[in-house]
Chains A and B, each alone.
Chain A
């Protein structure tokens, strides 16, 4: 709705990722390549998720529930959303794992090409870049059409908090998700290497909880849907960052 809003949403949703890219990633060609390839991996995972939706539509005729007015249809929609979310999150984490495996094979070469070949920090650089790639692509796919529409006059109001425009809430959620993907990747790669099942489970559950939390912003049936959603997201982000940081500080300096 107007150019000012468009600019605002652009900065909110993609500002952090663009800043990080310019300041941090762009210094090293390998990191750039890692960002792009992990983005591609995420894209494939979301492609498979879209096939789940397609099947759901075919089998359960989800589209007919879109304009549901009765409670029964409404709850059906929520259940389907949750089920498909579980599948989709599982697929995304699966591809995160697959990317890690690919990275493993290439690690020796990547390390040799990096500035400080023997630095233990390299792993963190790589996982950070992978996470950023995941996050950026996730943000682009989920938010770019909304961003483009926000140039038109007029806006849609958020379901759960009708005083806020929907693109605004979505931009905030997108920026949080970008950061979330970064820290999830850091933890996940560390956990894959050390085979810590608990941590892997935490990433999966954290991702699931964050995805489901965004459902709270759609509807006006639950009071305070928006604030609760953000509280959940920010707390997951906070806790995950804390775990990642602890790992980070425990690096043994050789």
Chain B
């Protein structure tokens, strides 16, 4: 009598003051489908009675439409259908100035500048009805979508009035309520975030070694209305892949990067979409971190292998990075040029905070000179300072670099495919996807190549024209690597490159049914505390982790299939050790070992996980739970929820049900009458009592 459908939901998440997202479950309501703007107007003006489950085409989703629907008071729940048949209108559910309330600019124009012109802030609104999403992209949701469409056609023929009609029941229970503080104390929610990853070529970073640190940074998490439908090819995958490609290019330098005059640190920040969770926490920890206790408690979430128990910190190698030692930050922002005016003439811009600072200009000048030196005569690519030709410098766009500059003035350049406003027409939207037919040779690959060369010079303190002209040809980005990675991350995680990366160390295989993964950062929970980089199926951290070790580590050229094949390299006398020592070595987590098996070879290298969640939340190691320690700092949490259900079935009208009841009562009355009639008849006509 009922059919259950697979779906995803716009969950409830909370901050210090309020809850956003969609409300918990509700009762049954008639299916009503809206697929065009005209139908939308018809629904708003109609005088149909009752409550409806509105099935909305995804390109009609925006704040105004949803608020209008709410105002009709006829909407009991909303189902959003994603199908890729038509080109969606430019739209972004994020704010016009994303994350600006947590950035480095607190007042003036830069604090509210509208970088995201198509944004309306839908992601931060609260709705009084549940919002579910279904996509024709996912094979296990197609059946459900078709069922809903058929049901609506049936209802439409009956003008949504003539019962019986198809109805849908939403069942979703969100545990959290009120605000982050309340739900964290009740253990009904988790901080939004995950694990950032960073790596470096250098074997040791010492604050007193006379070397400074060049940070190459990118964001790896995306965002959209439905976290399960979050891809973000153009929002963050471009920058993420460029970062990995630069690490790969520099690793091919004949002069080993670990011998450069400066350290290079590659950072991959997660949780950035929600108040710069990854970068702000990283900056906070490298400026002030102190381990208070190493006492391990087996009942608590903190792993016994963590370098510190209070606060719970899995690895503490970041201690050697200090804000004073950072020479410069180069951040790879949106780089795919998906919305550029002319895709054949991609234009890139270098954004800085202070265009007069000579140290900052050193970086931008180097990049410009590398560009002009290595520019193809027939190429139409262009990269130049963002403030060039503008009345005034707009400052840094929303970027992880803002977290560093908020604390201390550091030379920072953010590279993006936009000048005064995002060219990406679907920033942080479910429509931010790209097919495999798009190639990034002229966009992401080229940009990464120029930046890699510039970093090669910058990290070696080389500035002269002669040095620029003699960058070895080995230092160049592999465009095949860039294209493969972007395609794999966006469209098919089971492709050769990423499935091999994921299979590093222990041969973990992917469920072949899942091809598109979500790039939402997820939540930071007990599992994340143990530095589990692949927790909550966040493949971005997982892939960044292994790819950066491969690039920054030393390839021993010894083949392997699992990590234990490389044990001899780290412990040459492993065979002679006693049982206890062997057990101790075997128990050590892969991420803490010095030799890992990646893409078939033993690589000597490390990468480091770093907690990423809003710095307004802290983990109390003594009580082993999370709490709000500053309501004014980002403290986004996501509610825990039961499995969401969507069931579809027929209903008949209330009047009909009461008529049925009437008939039932009538039949009993008739029986009683019949009995007495026959009894009297027998009495009268048979003279027998």
Contact = CB atoms under 8 A, between A and B. Distances in A.
Interface of A: 1-2, 4-5, 7-12, 15-16, 18-20, 23-24, 116, 119, 121, 149, 152-157, 162-163, 165, 168, 175, 249, 251, 253
Q: Bin chain B's interface residue count.
A: 20 to 34
A10 B654 CA distance: 17
A154 B664 contact: no
Interface in B637-672: 647-652, 654, 657-658, 660-665, 667-668, 670-672
30 contacts: A1-B649, A1-B650, A4-B657, A4-B660, A4-B661, A7-B661, A8-B663, A9-B664, A11-B664, A11-B665, A15-B668, A16-B671, A18-B668, A19-B675, A20-B675, A23-B675, A116-B688, A121-B688, A149-B1, A153-B28, A153-B169, A154-B167, A154-B647, A154-B651, A155-B1, A156-B1, A165-B164, A168-B660, A175-B667, A253-B686
Nearest to A251: B686
B687 interface: yes
B240 to A, nearest CB: 45
A154 B1 contact: yes
Nearest to B1: A154
Contacts of A157: 164, 650
Contacts of B687: 253
Contacts of B664: 7-12, 15
Contacts of A19: 668, 671-672, 675
A168 B651 CA distance: 13
Contact of B672 (A2, A12, A23): A23
B650 A152 contact: no
Closest 6 CB pairs of A and B: A154-B649, A11-B664, A8-B660, A8-B661, A15-B668, A19-B671
Q: Interface centre among B28, B662, B686, by most A CB within 10 Å?
A: B686
Given A1-B651, A1-B652, A16-B671, 4 more contacts: A11-B668, A152-B1, A154-B648, A154-B650
A229 B376 CA distance: 85
A18 B664 CA distance: 12
A155 B652 CA distance: 8
Contact of B2 (A16, A20, A154, A168): A154
A114 to B, nearest CB: 13
A157 B167 CA distance: 13
Given A4-B658, A7-B661, A155 B651 contact: yes
B514 interface: no
Contacts of B648: 154
A2 B1 CA distance: 13
A119 B688 contact: yes
Q: Interface centre among B651, B652, B664, by most A CB within 10 Å?
A: B664
B558 interface: no
Given A4-B657, A156-B1, A11 B667 contact: yes
Contacts of A119: 688
Contacts of B167: 153-154
B685 interface: yes
Contacts of B665: 11
A242 to B, nearest CB: 14
B682 interface: yes
A24 B675 contact: yes
Contacts of B651: 1, 153-155
Contacts of B686: 121, 251, 253
Contacts, number: 100
A152 B28 CA distance: 12
B164 A155 contact: yes
A124 to B, nearest CB: 9
A171 to B, nearest CB: 8
A154 B165 CA distance: 10
Contacts of B667: 11-12, 15-16, 175
A176 to B, nearest CB: 10
A2 B169 CA distance: 13
Contacts of A15: 664, 667-668, 671
Given A153-B28, A153-B169, A165 B652 contact: yes
Given A5-B657, A253-B687, A16 B647 contact: no
Contacts of B662: 8
Contacts of B647: 153-154
A153 B171 CA distance: 13
B652 to A, nearest CB: 6
B28 to A, nearest CB: 6
Nearest to A11: B664
A140 to B, nearest CB: 17
A152 B2 contact: yes
Contacts of A7: 661, 664
A10 B658 CA distance: 13
A12 B663 contact: yes
A128 to B, nearest CB: 10
Contacts of A156: 1, 650
Nearest to B675: A23
A191 B445 CA distance: 97
B18 to A, nearest CB: 32
Contact of B649 (A121, A153, A253): A153
Contacts of A23: 672, 675
Nearest to A4: B657
Contacts of A168: 660
Nearest to B689: A116
A162 B248 CA distance: 66
Contacts of A175: 667
A119 B682 CA distance: 13
A249 B675 contact: no
Contacts of B660: 4-5, 8-9, 12, 168
Contacts of B668: 11, 15-16, 18-19
Contacts of A163: 164
A160 to B, nearest CB: 15
Contacts of B28: 153-154
Nearest to A17: B671
Contacts of A8: 657, 660-664
Contacts of A152: 1-2
Interface string B675-688: 10000001001111
Contacts of A249: 685
Interface string B163-179: 01001010000000000
B656 to A, nearest CB: 8
Interface string B603-629: 000000000000000000000000000
A12 B660 CA distance: 8
Interface in B82-138: none
Interface string B549-593: 000000000000000000000000000000000000000000000
A153 B661 contact: no
A156 to B, nearest CB: 6
Q: Interface centre among A16, A24, A116, by most B CB within 10 Å?
A: A16
Contacts of B649: 1, 153-155
A153 B167 CA distance: 10
A190 to B, nearest CB: 16
Nearest to A12: B664
Nearest to B27: A153
Contacts of B675: 19-20, 23-24
Contacts of B164: 155, 157, 162-163, 165
A121 B682 contact: yes
A78 to B, nearest CB: 25
